[in-house]
Amino acid sequence: MSHKRPQEDSTKGRPSEAFTPDQDKRRRVANLFVNDGSVVQEVMKLQSVQHLLEPVLEPLIRRVVKEEVEVALRKHLNNMKRYKFN
């Protein structure tokens, strides 16, 4: 889950407190690992589930798509035959 940064009013802060884009990016990356270590664990869990399901889901999806394309083509060809002979 991403957290929104509060908007800072540029007139209130001192120029020395402003972060450059590189410093801000480094802070966000560091905070990802320091404050929210569970993010890495969640990614690992997601990858392992994906690794387990991919061999099962891919053939299933291919078969379903193939069947649907065949049905659509059959309907289309039947309609073309009807219009050709009428």
The span from the CA of 75 to the CA of 68, in Å, is 11
> Dihedrals φ, ψ of 42, to 5°?
-65, -40
Residue 71: the pLDDT is 97
Residue 36: the pLDDT is 61
Cβ atoms within 10 Å of 24's Cβ, excluding its own: 12
Q: How many domains does the chain have?
A: 1
Write out the two tokens for 73: 């083509």
Place of tokens 């379903």: 64
Any idea what DSSP says for residue 15?
G
In a domain, 38, yes or no: yes
Residues contacting 27, CB < 8 A, separation 6+: 19
pTM of the model: 0.42
Residue 18: the pLDDT is 60
In a domain, 14, yes or no: no
In a domain, 11, yes or no: no
| Ranges of the chain whose pLDDT falls below 70 | 1-19, 25-37, 85-86
Q: Print the domain residue range for 58.
A: 20-85
In a domain, 5, yes or no: no
In a domain, 9, yes or no: no
In a domain, 61, yes or no: yes
